[in-house]
Amino acid sequence: MTTEHDDQRYVEHLQRQLLREGTEEFIREQASYLDSKREEVAEIFKNLAASTNKLPSKWQAGVLAFERTSHLDCFYSTSIFNPLLEKALAICKKAEIEPTNPIHFYNSPGLEPTAAALPSNDTHMLFAGQGTFSFCNYWSKIFSEALFEAAATTLELQKWDPVIFLEQIKKTSIIEKATKLAIWYSLHDTLVGYGKLEQEERFTSLRSLLLNSMEIFVVGHEIAHFCYYEAYPDTNGLAPDQSDKDLEINCDNIGLAVCTVYGIGENNTFATNFIGPLVFLYSIHLCEKVKEIITKKPRHDSNSHPSINDRIKNVFKFAKVAKVHPDILEIMKDSLDAAIVIGSQVQLIATEVASKNTDV
Ligand SMILES: [Zn+2]
């Protein structure tokens, strides 16, 4: 038996492994800023909850009551991911795919967009943090606006037309904003620290829904790792004859199932129709592509992870197996197509930037 103190030291040890050089100082500064301005931040949350943002009003009380379990803990990570974890687990329980061991959430001080699951025979640990929520937040700003424009164009023409969509989108600043984000990512491997990205207030609700649908997919995927671990503890979750890549796809499938059920319960069509997962995966794909262009270094395929392209294809495969209505498949295709239209423009500009800049 370990004591609570030992457990906390273990968590801190794991958090440290996720840290990147120089990040600790950044996290300390963030924490002390929040501590010095709790009353003001609580007031901001109060106003946001009252506006159309639909931010849960408990954030206001939460920021005042928040107690850091370690100096690497983060109020925002806990407030975003803990409720999603609870909801995702309730969905899994109903579907009888819930892990037996309890899952504890901890802030990941890592900066990468992906979360991390640490299964064990005792308590599972889920790490997610600013790397994930800032990545999802920035790209949901880009794609909520893009999907809004795509829907408006489709409605006007009575059909989806990528050429007209591109014409429309060129009148906005979406491509420019997406390019800046992708280039920033290609240089830093994260969007943490990117700074302000303006978005008109009319897109706020749409953006929140898209953001939420991306995050619930991430959480669902990590819960799946715990389920598979409990089924096959000796092989870290791998079933006989299964590869690491198969496992990742299977975890995506549970993530997709959680996402769509969550969407139905929360009235979030981006989640119900798998748009959040598609946007999340495509955003990673785009960032990786732009990184290849900017750094002029081709990316090597991972041995353990399927390519993002395969994961995107799997979303459609999953939707077909789940027998979603053909109209929904159409919406999924058009949404991905809209994202690709933007992504192609971003890659064109990145290529131009890279050709002018031999020393990025
Ligand atoms: Zn995974």
Mind listing the pLDDT tens digit for each residue in 290-325? 999 999 888 877 777 899 999 999 999 999 999 999
Same domain membership, residue 160 and residue 41: no
CA of 60 to the centre of ligand 1 (A): 33
Instruction: Answer with the one of 74, 108, 131 that is the final residue of a domain.
Output: 131
**What burial letters (b/e) apply to 172-195, b meaning 16+ CB within 10 Å?**
eebbebbbbbbbbbbeeebbbebe
Q: What is the pLDDT of residue 4?
A: 66
Query: How far apart, in Å, are the Cα atoms of 38 and each of 30, 34, 79, 180, 193?
Result: 12, 6, 15, 32, 21
Residues 125, 318, 223: CA angle, nearest 5 degrees: 10
SS3 assignment, position 159: coil
CA of 166 to the centre of ligand 1 (A): 34
Structural domains counted in the chain: 2
Check whether 338 has a pLDDT greater than 60. Answer: yes
Same domain membership, residue 143 and residue 55: no
Same domain membership, residue 284 and residue 215: yes
Same domain membership, residue 95 and residue 215: no
Strand order across the beta sheet in which 124-129 lies = 103-108, 124-129, 116-118
Choose among 101, 57, 60, 104: nearest CA to 82: 104
Tens digits of per-residue pLDDT, 164-204?
Answer: 999 999 999 999 999 999 999 999 999 998 999 999 989 99
Same domain membership, residue 265 and residue 219: yes
- Decide if 316 contacts 328 (C-beta within 8 A): no
SS3 assignment, position 129: strand
CA of 245 to the centre of ligand 1 (A): 9
Q: What is the pLDDT of residue 70?
A: 81
Check whether 53 has a pLDDT greater than 60. Answer: no
CA distance 113 to 282: 13
CA of 296 to the centre of ligand 1 (A): 28
Q: What is the pLDDT of residue 1?
A: 46
Chain position carrying tokens 């353990």: 304
How high does pLDDT run on average in the chain?
91
Residues 142, 360, 307: CA angle, nearest 5 degrees: 55
CA of 338 to the centre of ligand 1 (A): 26
Q: Higher-confidence residue: 217 or 25? A: 217
Helix segments in 37-74, DSSP class H: 38-50, 58-65
pTM for the model: 0.92
Domain membership of residue 159 as a residue range: 133-356
CA distance 267 to 258: 14
Same domain membership, residue 123 and residue 141: no
The radius of gyration of the chain from alpha carbons, rounded to an integer in Å, stands at: 20
Q: Higher-confidence residue: 55 or 297? A: 297
Residue type at 256?
A: L
Same domain membership, residue 267 and residue 250: yes
Same domain membership, residue 44 and residue 113: yes
Choose among 132, 80, 137: nearest CA to 111: 132
Work out the average pLDDT over 12-34. 79
Same domain membership, residue 314 and residue 168: yes
Tokens describing residue 278? 């598609």
Q: What is the pLDDT of residue 139?
A: 98
- Decide if 92 contacts 1 (C-beta within 8 A): no
Same domain membership, residue 97 and residue 140: no
CA of 65 to the centre of ligand 1 (A): 33
**CA dihedral for 344, 345, 346, 350, sign (positive or negative):** positive
Tens digits of per-residue pLDDT, 70-127?
Answer: 878 889 999 999 999 999 999 999 999 989 999 999 999 888 899 999 999 999 999 9
Same domain membership, residue 144 and residue 96: no
Residues 297, 299, 302: CA angle, nearest 5 degrees: 155
- Decide if 99 contacts 223 (C-beta within 8 A): yes
Same domain membership, residue 254 and residue 219: yes
CA of 360 to the centre of ligand 1 (A): 32
CA of 230 to the centre of ligand 1 (A): 15
Task: Find all residues with CB under 8 Å of 160, minimum gap 6, and list them.
Answer: 150, 153, 154, 334, 337
CA of 71 to the centre of ligand 1 (A): 27
- Decide if 146 contacts 342 (C-beta within 8 A): yes
